[in-house]
Amino acid sequence: MELRQLQYFAKVAKKQHVTQASEELHIAQSAVSRQIHQLEEELGVQLFVQKGRKLQLTPVGKLFLNRVEEILASLDRAVNEVHEFMDPEAGEIRVGFPHSLGIYFLPTVVAHFRKSHPGVKFRLRQGTFNSLIRDVMKGEIDLAFISPFPEKHDHVTGELLLQEELYAILPVGHPLAQLESIKLNQLKDEPFVMFSDEYSLRTIVLDACSSAGFTPKIDFEGEETDTIRGLVAAGMGVSLLPEMALTEISQLHPARVRVVEPQVTRSVGLIHRSGEKLPLVAEVFQRFLLEFIKEMK
């Protein structure tokens, strides 16, 4: 069994298509197919089945993929450790983040860090709460910004960075848009623009509305803060977004109003795998971030 076979297998499993995998690997399609076939022969199992135009993993293929991803992630870490040993200032940091922190916060932190560590590279991965925890557990990323911060978890640990306020966002012409603050139940009869189920901000907003005595009427759902903000600005409803997701000014920008009853906040933290030492360059970034947050407060 060869390393390239495992790499090709993982790529085909991700793309669900040999042609797309071969294009991304810059390898001939026939070579990828041949290596997958040889891997299946060596294992004595079928890893993929054809479903229409896509290849889907068999049950044993899914089991094998989990182990292969762990092996490849460990290899990546080993390579990074060697590079860091030779030159800690030329390492790579693999960081996960939710979209709402990618608009302003993450670019700002990375830009400040790179001023004093210009040789360090970043490999960034956007994800949801559950996918970020999964990627940290699998070792696919070193660190992840996450919200809400998981206070107790069997496989990840970290630091609470900050508590961030959520604002009500309204169309500019809305009757409440000019107020300095509102009570959340003043929005009980409004249509809401909400994140879809897998996003933690949805749960935070639903819980806040419940504590305010109502269940929001959801007319639109989206997966990006830009989409939520744009739909509200276009008059499709109201929503709640964290302050860091409201820093970008565009032609479609809603009004924002502070919510005072109840005040709605989210926790933001930085996590990594429990019981495992971070790569040296990731430790440097972690220390820098904690000092950066102190200066922000």
List pLDDT tens digits, range 173-217: 999 999 999 999 999 999 999 999 889 999 999 999 999 999 999
How high is the mean pLDDT of the chain? Answer: 91
Beta bridge partners of 262: none
Whether 154 and 113 map to the same domain: the answer is yes
Task: Report whether 271 contacts 158 (CB < 8 A).
Answer: yes
Q: Contact 161/281 with Cβ under 8 angstroms?
A: no
Q: What is the CATH number of the domain that holds 186?
A: 3.40.190.290
Would residue 80 count as lying in a domain?
Answer: no
Tell me: do 282 and 150 sit in the same domain. yes
pLDDT at 77 (0 to 100): 79
Range of the structural domain that residue 212 is part of: 163-266
Among the residue ranges 54-68, 85-99, 145-159, 261-275, the one predicted with the least confidence is 85-99
Q: Which residues partner with 215 through β-bridges? A: none
Q: Would residue 82 count as lying in a domain? A: no
Instruction: Report whether pLDDT(73) > 90.
Output: no
With 0-12 / 13-18 / 19 or more C-beta atoms within 10 angstroms meaning exposed / middle / buried, residue 50 is exposed
Domain count, the chain: 3
- pTM score, whole prediction: 0.70
For residue 97, name the pLDDT band (cuts at 50, 70, 90): very high
CB atoms closer than 10 angstroms to residue 115: 7
Q: pLDDT for 24-36, tens place per residue?
A: 888 898 999 999 9
For residue 75, is it within any domain? no
Do 193 and 251 belong to one domain?
yes
The answer to whether residue 10 is domain-embedded is yes
Q: Are residues 261 and 180 in the same domain?
A: yes
Contacts 24+ apart (CB under 8 A), 72-75: 72/6, 72/7, 72/10, 73/138, 73/139, 73/140, 74/139, 75/3
**Same domain, yes or no: 36 and 131:** no
157 and 280 housed in the same domain: yes
